[in-house]
C-alpha cells in the first residue's frame, strides 16, 4: 500500500496542519510516512501546500509525481494541481469557495462545503478538520479513531473546548461523506 496526498490552499487555512495530522496518525498506525511542506516565501500570504506519503513499506520518494489524492481548499490550488492527480484518483474540494470543477472524467470529485459547515459548527477555523473528516471517511488512509487521537496529541496543551470543537468538526465531515 502506498498513498500520496497533496493538501493545498491559502496560508492560514490550516493546510499544513491537515497534512501534519495525517502524517502523525499514519505514524501512530505504524505506517511509514513522509510529510513534505512548502516553505519560505511561498507561504508568506500566498498558497501553502504539503505532500504526505503513507505506505506499509519504505517510502522511496517523498516527492509525488502523481498523487492519489488531492485536497484543495482554494481555487488556485485546484488549477495548480488537478492535472497531477493519478488516473482514478480523488479530488476533495472546498466547495464553499471553489466554484470551478475539474474537467477530467477519470477521477472522483468530492465537493465538501467545509467553510459553510464550519460556520454551522460555530468556528470557521475548523473547516480544515471538517475536510479531514470527509477525507478519512472516503480514503481510509488511517482509521478515524487513530487520526482523532493524533489530532488530540498535536493540539495537546490547548483548551479542552477546542478539542471538543475539533471532534465535532471531524464528525460533521465524516458524516457528510457517508452520503
Partner 1 sequence: MTKVLMSGNNIIGEAAIRAGCRFYAGYPITPQNELTEYMAEHMRTVEGGVFIQSESEIAAIHMIVGASSAGARVMTSSSSPGISLKQEGISSMAANELPGVIVNIMRGSPGLGNIRPSQGDYFQATRGGGHGDYRTIVFAPATCQELADLTMNAFDLADIYRTPVMILADGMMGQMMEPVVFKKPKPRQYSEKFMLRGAGQGKSKFIRSLILDAIDMEEHNWKLARKYQIITEKETLHEEYKTEDAELVIVAYGTAARIAKGAIKRLRENGMKVGLFRPITLWPFPELKLRTLSKKVKNYLVFELSTGQMLDDVRLALQGYADIGFHGRPGGVVPTPAELANVAARHYEKAD
Residues that bind partner 1 (CB under 8 A): 20, 23-24, 27, 32-37, 39-41, 59-66
Which is closer to partner 1, CB of 84 or CB of 101? 84
Residues 68, 49 contacting (CB under 8 angstroms): no
Q: Please, what is the minimum distance in Å from the beta carbon of residue 157 to partner 1?
A: 15
Q: What is the largest CA-CA distance in the chain?
A: 44
**Distance in angstroms (rounded) separating the CA atoms of residues 57 and 133:** 25
Which is closer to partner 1, CB of 149 or CB of 168? 149
Q: How far is CA 30 from CA 16, 20, 42, 57, 101, in A?
A: 21, 15, 32, 10, 35
Which is closer to partner 1, CB of 55 or CB of 163? 55
DSSP code for 57: S
Q: Please, what is the minimum distance in Å from the beta carbon of residue 40 to partner 1?
A: 4
Which is closer to partner 1, CB of 23 or CB of 177? 23
Q: What is the 3-state secondary structure (H, E, C) of 81-148?
A: HHHHCCCCCEEEEECCCCCCCCCCCCCEEEEECHHHHHHHHCCHHHHHHHHHHHHHHHHCCCCHHHHH
Q: Please, what is the minimum distance in Å from the beta carbon of residue 164 to partner 1?
A: 24
Q: Please, what is the minimum distance in Å from the beta carbon of residue 35 to partner 1?
A: 4
Which is closer to partner 1, CB of 53 or CB of 134? 53
Q: Please, what is the minimum distance in Å from the beta carbon of residue 83 to partner 1?
A: 13
Amino acid at each position: 500500500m502506498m498513498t500520496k496526498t497533496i493538501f493545498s490552499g491559502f496560508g492560514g487555512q490550516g493546510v499544513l496542519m491537515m497534512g501534519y495530522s495525517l502524517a502523525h496518525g499514519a505514524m501512530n498506525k505504524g505506517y511509514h510516512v513522509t510529510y513534505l511542506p512548502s516553505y519560505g516565501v511561498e507561504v508568506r500570504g500566498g498558497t501553502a501546500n504539503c505532500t504526505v506519503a503513507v505506505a506499509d513499506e519504505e517510502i522511496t520518494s517523498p516527492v509525488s509525481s502523481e498523487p492519489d489524492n488531492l485536497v484543495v481548499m482554494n481555487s488556485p490550488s485546484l488549477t495548480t494541481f488537478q492535472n497531477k492527480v493519478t488516473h482514478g484518483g480523488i479530488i476533495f474540494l472546498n466547495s464553499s469557495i471553489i466554484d470551478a470543477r475539474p474537467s477530467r472524467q477519470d477521477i472522483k470529485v468530492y465537493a465538501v462545503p467545509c467553510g459553510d459547515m464550519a460556520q454551522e459548527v460555530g468556528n470557521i477555523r475548523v473547516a480544515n478538520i471538517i475536510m479531514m473528516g470527509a477525507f478519512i471517511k472516503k480514503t481510509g488512509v488511517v482509521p478515524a479513531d487513530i487520526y482523532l487521537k493524533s489530532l488530540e496529541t498535536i493540539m495537546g496543551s490547548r483548551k479542552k473546548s477546542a478539542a471538543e470543537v475539533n471532534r465535532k468538526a471531524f464528525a460533521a465531515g465524516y458524516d457528510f461523506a457517508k452520503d
